[in-house]
Amino acid sequence: MIKVTTIPGDGIGKEVMEAGIAVLDALDLNFDFIKSEAGDGYFQENGNTIPEETLKNAKNSQATLFGAITSTPGERSPIITLRKELDAFANLRPIKSFEGINSLYNDLDFLVVRENTEGLYSQVESYGDKEETIAISERIITKKASERIARFAFDKAISDERNKVTCVHKANVLKKTDGLFKRTFYDVAKSYPKIKSEDLYIDAVAMYLIKEPRSFDIIVTTNLFGDILSDEAAGLVGGLGLAPSGNIGDNNGLFEPVHGSAPDIAGKNISNPIAMILSSAMMLDFLDENYYANQITTAVENVLKARKIATPDLGGTAKTMDLANAVIEEINKQT
């Protein structure tokens, strides 16, 4: 029995979660889903965005699936709380082209690994004067976090049979912080002699991603740079409805579509569930259920390639569950 906490959240989070669970249920695996609450809807009724119960469930599960939440002004984001509580230090975003999907590049397959816990998102901010005309943000980089994110990237290279890890930084300007990040990267690289390692400046990578994205295999970078580059890279392929992600720690993983709660289309059952479905495939990979992860991925590829069932964002008229059912049908064909 695989214990999975599910947090549908708000808006289309609920719809895509239902679709994602239906697909998981079609596999020859046993799941114990622990449905849990978080988000703005929960806040409106209870006054906090995430209850202790949800955090406890997530900690006691092998993995957590997260739909999407609408942010509550002035309140801390539940997803940030969850990442922290689970110590999910690595944000993993696969950038993959799909046959049948119009995009800038049709043959990309690389990973962006973003450090999830520190950097410019340490949230240590202050004012330098009483008048609040000087604002200061601390960009904290530690050897410990740099080492574990580099190790995560190289381990991923080995497990996914990839050849190269590129460290992205700005050490020529941020000499101490990114100097440490880069130095630590090359220290870790010594333990992985079979994997090629290189480093590039963030500004150059912003350009290379557009001009020669095929040159990347795994990118590893600090928090803010990773946030920006992973969105840029996602723009090279399918778009929000197809982009999955994982937040991974030593003992737990939290998997979620990149998109948000999309209030503009919520409740119409026309949201694209593929990002959520692919996020659950990432979860199965994390749980070492690679066979089942591949079943889902192959089914999604076949459905997209066929171009028969598509939600409005993909140019069709299908409903959320139509697309999920098409994926389930493909899975059933495989067995």
Cα distance between the two ends of the chain: 20
3-state secondary structure of 72: coil
The owner of tokens 């140019």 is 315
Contact with ligand ATP (CB under 6 A) among 18, 151, 260, 324:
260
Q: Which does 264 bind (CB under 5 to 8 A by kind): ligand ATP, Mg ion, none?
A: ligand ATP
Distance CA 243, CA 254 (A): 15
Read off the DSSP letter of residue 175: T
175 is annotated as an active-site residue? no
Q: Which stretch binds ligand ATP (CB under 6 A): 57-65, 67-75, 170-178, 219-227?
A: 67-75
Bridge partners (DSSP) listed for residue 125: 137
170 is annotated as an active-site residue? yes
Does 49 sit near ligand ATP (CB under 6 A)?
no
Distance CA 159, CA 113 (A): 14
CA distances from 82 to 2, 57, 131, 140 (A): 20, 11, 35, 20
Least CB distance from residue 1 to ligand ATP, whole Å? 29
Least CB distance from residue 58 to Mg ion, whole Å? 22
Q: Which amino acid is at 194?
A: K
Does 20 sit near ligand ATP (CB under 6 A)?
no
Distance CA 303, CA 213 (A): 25
User: Of the listed 10, 178, 227, 313, which one is catalytic?
Assistant: 227
Distance CA 230, CA 244 (A): 11
Q: Which stretch binds ligand ATP (CB under 6 A): 68-76, 187-195, 229-237, 247-255?
A: 68-76
227 is annotated as an active-site residue? yes
Does 302 sit near ligand ATP (CB under 6 A)?
no
Q: 213 near 236, Cβ under 8 Å?
A: yes
Least CB distance from residue 48 to ligand ATP, whole Å? 18
Contact pattern for ligand ATP over residues 265 through 284, marking x by CB under 6 A:
x-----xx--x---------
Q: Give Cβ neighbours of residue 138 (< 8 Å, ≥ 6 apart).
A: 122, 124, 125
For the chain, the C-alpha Rg in angstroms (whole number) is 20
264 is annotated as an active-site residue? no
Q: Rank residues 128 and 263 by Cβ distance to ligand ATP and give the closer one.
A: 263
Q: Rank residues 226 and 260 by Cβ distance to Mg ion and give the closer one.
A: 260
3-state secondary structure of 256: strand
Q: Which stretch binds Mg ion (CB under 5 A): 28-36, 100-108, 257-265, 322-330?
A: 257-265
By CB under 5 A, what part of segment 259-278 binds Mg ion?
Answer: 260
Distance CA 23, CA 228 (A): 31
Helices 12-25 and 320-334, interaxial angle, to 10°? 20
Distance CA 113, CA 230 (A): 9
Q: Rank residues 240 and 287 by Cβ distance to ligand ATP and give the closer one.
A: 240
Contact pattern for ligand ATP over residues 218 through 247, marking x by CB under 6 A:
----------------------xx------
Q: Which does 280 bind (CB under 5 to 8 A by kind): ligand ATP, Mg ion, none?
A: none
Least CB distance from residue 262 to Mg ion, whole Å? 8
Does 36 sit near ligand ATP (CB under 6 A)?
no
Q: What are the residues binding ligand ATP (CB under 6 A)?
A: 12, 16, 68, 70-71, 240-241, 259-265, 271-272, 275, 313
Catalytic residues: 121, 170, 203, 227, 231
